[in-house]
Amino acid sequence: VGEQVLLKCSFKSSSPITESLLVDWTYRPLSGGQMETVFHYQSIPHPTPAGKFKDRISWVGNVAKGDASIIIQNPVLSDNGTFICSVKNPPDV
């Protein structure tokens, strides 16, 4: 709480990295419930326009180096939950 949090995500792909590469970060609260997309990357970062993480997630990844990490600013206890990083680099997943 109070300090930004780095959520690391690294990946390897047997296909060349292109503009088709997609990164999706999803979140499920500790209490359960629906998964929600909190960050999307395709060529450029697309932070979520709504929800509890609006204006609090920053892209710090570098897909050319196999990095799809994000930072959450101003975390609070209610942010606790499961974060999943999914990378698709067609035809590789």
CATH code at 17? 2.60.40.10
Looking at residue 42, the DSSP 8-state letter turns out to be: E
| Secondary structure of residue 85 in the 3-state scheme | strand
Q: Does residue 93 fall inside a structural domain? A: no
Of 24-28, 47-51, 69-73, 84-88, the one with minimum mean pLDDT is 47-51
Asked if residue 56 is part of any domain, the answer here is yes
- Integer Cα distance of 84 and 35 in angstroms: 10
Kindly state whether residue 13 falls inside one of the protein's structural domains: yes
Q: In total, how many domains does the chain have? A: 1
> Where does the chain have alpha helices with state H?
none
Q: What is the pLDDT of residues 22-66, one digit of tens each?
A: 999 999 999 888 999 999 999 999 988 888 999 999 999 999 999
Contact 57, 72 (CB under 8 A): yes
Question: pTM, whole model, 2 decimals?
Answer: 0.92
Domain-located, residue 18: yes
Asked whether 82 and 28 are in contact (CB, 8 A), the reply is yes
Asked whether residue 83 carries a pLDDT value surpassing 80, the answer given is: yes
